[in-house]
C-alpha cells in the first residue's frame, strides 16, 4: 500500500532589508507555480519567509521591530499566495513573525490545507541567540529579544491524507521536539530555517561544519521517529550576511532523498510515500513495545545539566 504525497521544498534566496512583502510574495507564487508544474500536492516555505532575517538587526526600542511582524493572517500582502496555492489545489506551510491582538510576538508557522484553510499553527519553542546586543559576536542573533518562546507545544494534525507536524529552525537540533510529535504518530514534519553560514561566536565554524550539523540533526530526527522531514532554507547573502541553503527532504529511514543545489529561489519535489513510515514505527521504533519511560524522568524534570558532585 502506498500513500504518495508529492511534497515541494520551496527554498527562498536572500531577502534584503529593503525588499517589500509584495515582491517576496510574488517570488513565492513563482515557486508555487513551478512546484505545481512538477506535480506537487504540498509546498513548504522557509521560516520568516516574508521578510529578511531581521533578528540580526538590533532595535533599542523593541516596538520598532513591529514593522517585521504580521498582525493578521492571511492579510493584504499574503492573500495572493493563499489564492494561488488554493487554485493549484496544494497545501502549504510557511513561517512569519506573528504579532497577536494582545501584542505578543512569536516566530510562527502555519499549516494550510488544499482548500486554503489554516488547519494548524506552531510557534517556535527553541529560540536561539540572545536578547541584548552582544558586541562579542560577529553578527547578532536576537530571537530572544523579539520573540516569546512558543506556547502551543508540538502538535500533530490530520490533513492532506496524513499526520503533519511543524517545527522551526533551531527546533531541529532538539530531539525532544521530534519525539513529542513521534509520540503522536507524525508522518511528515515540516520546518523552515534561516541559518547563518558562520558561527557568530566561533568564526572558524563555517558552512561545511554547519551543514554537517544541520543534516545530522534532521536525519537523526527522521530516522529515530520514522517520519519524513522537509527542511527548507531562506538562503543567500542578506545585506552582507550569508546563510546556507541545503534544503532537504529526508525519508523515514533518515536518508536524504532530495537536496537543493543553489542558495537562490529553488524548488525540489519528491514523491513521499507516507506508508513508508509504517515499518519503522512497527519494528525498531515501536515506541509502545520498546520505550522505558520510568527511566526518562530527568528529560522533563531537569532543565540544565547537573553532573554528580563526587
Ligand atoms: N538559526 C540557527 C539555527 O538553529 C543556530 C541558529 C545556528 C543556532 C547554529 C545554533 C547553531 O539553525 C535559527 N533561526 O534558529
Mutate to test the pocket of ligand 1, among 109, 141, 206 (most ligand atoms within 8 A of CB): 141
Q: Summarize pLDDT for 166-191 with one digit per residue, the tens.
A: 999 999 999 999 999 999 999 999 99
Whole-number Å distance, alpha carbon 235 to ligand 1 midpoint, is 13
Question: Over 90: is that where the pLDDT of 297 sits?
Answer: yes
Ligand 1 centroid distance, CA of 232 (Å): 13
Angle at 76 between CA 19 and CA 34, to 5 degrees: 65
Q: Does residue 165 contact residue 186 with C-beta atoms inside 8 Å?
A: yes
**Residue 128 Cα, ligand 1 centroid: separation in angstroms?**
6
Which atom of ligand 1 lies at the shortest distance from residue 199's CA? 9
In this prediction the pTM is 0.98
pLDDT of residue 165: 99
Residues 130-139 pLDDT 10s: 999 999 999 9
Atom of ligand 1 at shortest range from CA of 168: 15
Q: Quick: pLDDT tens for 230-270.
A: 999 999 999 999 999 999 999 999 999 999 999 999 999 99
Q: By CB neighbour count within 10 A (0-12 exposed, 13-18 middle, 19+ buried), where does 43 fall?
A: buried
Has residue 203 got a pLDDT over 90?
A: no
Architecture of domain 4-301: 4-Layer Sandwich (3.60)
Ligand 1 centroid distance, CA of 195 (Å) = 5
The end-to-end CA distance of the chain, in Å, is: 56
Q: Which residues are catalytic?
A: 47, 124, 169
Q: What is the pLDDT of residue 1?
A: 82
Query: Residue 273's beta-bridge partner residues?
Result: 4
Ligand 1 contact via 193 beta carbon (within 6 Å)? yes
Q: Which atom of ligand 1 is nearest to the CA of 170?
A: 4
C-alpha angle 250-85-91 in degrees, rounded to nearest 5: 45
CA distance 60 to 55: 12
Place of cell 502555519: 110
Amino acid at each position: 500500500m502506498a500513500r504518495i504525497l508529492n511534497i515541494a521544498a520551496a527554498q527562498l534566496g536572500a531577502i534584503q532589508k529593503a525588499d517589500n512583502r509584495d515582491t517576496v510574495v510574488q517570488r513565492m507564487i513563482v515557486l508555487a507555480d513551478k512546484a505545481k508544474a512538477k506535480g506537487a500536492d504540498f509546498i513548504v516555505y522557509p521560516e520568516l519567509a516574508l521578510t529578511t532575517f531581521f533578528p540580526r538587526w538590533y532595535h533599542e526600542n523593541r516596538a520598532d521591530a513591529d514593522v517585521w511582524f504580521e498582525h493578521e493572517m492571511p492579510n493584504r500582502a499574503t492573500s495572493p499566495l493563499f489564492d494561488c496555492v488554493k487554485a493549484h489545489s496544494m497545501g502549504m506551510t510557511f513561517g512569519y513573525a506573528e504579532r497577536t491582538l494582545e501584542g505578543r510576538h512569536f516566530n510562527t508557522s502555519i499549516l494550510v490545507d488544499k482548500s486554503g484553510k489554516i488547519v494548524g499553527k506552531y510557534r517556535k519553542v527553541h529560540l536561539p541567540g540572545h536578547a541584548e546586543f552582544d558586541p562579542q559576536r560577529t553578527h547578532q542573533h536576537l530571537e530572544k529579544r523579539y520573540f516569546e518562546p512558543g506556547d502551543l507545544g508540538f502538535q500533530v494534525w490530520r490533513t492532506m491524507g496524513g499526520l503533519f507536524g511543524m517545527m522551526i529552525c533551531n527546533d531541529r537540533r532538539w530531539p525532544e521536539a521530534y519525539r513529542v510529535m513521534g509520540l503522536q504518530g507524525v508522518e511528515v514534519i515540516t520546518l523552515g530555517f534561516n541559518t547563518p553560514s558562520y558561527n557568530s561566536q566561533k568564526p572558524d565554524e563555517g558552512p561545511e561544519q554547519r551543514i554537517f550539523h544541520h543534516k545530522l540533526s534532521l536525519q537523526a530526527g527522521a530516522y529515530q521517529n520514522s517520519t519524513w522531514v522537509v527542511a527548507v532554507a531562506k538562503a543567500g547573502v542578506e545585506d552582507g550576511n550569508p546563510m546556507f541553503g541545503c534544503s532537504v527532504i529526508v525519508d523515514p529511514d533518515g536518508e536524504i532523498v532530495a537536496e537543493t543545489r543553489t542558495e537562490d529561489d529553488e524548488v525540489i519535489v519528491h514523491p513521499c510515500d507516507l506508508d513508508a513510515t509504517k515499518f519503522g514505527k512497527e519494528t525498531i521504533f515501536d515506541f509502545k513495545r520498546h520505550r522505558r519511560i520510568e527511566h526518562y524522568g530527568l528529560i522533563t524534570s531537569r532543565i540544565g545539566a547537573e553532573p554528580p558532585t563526587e
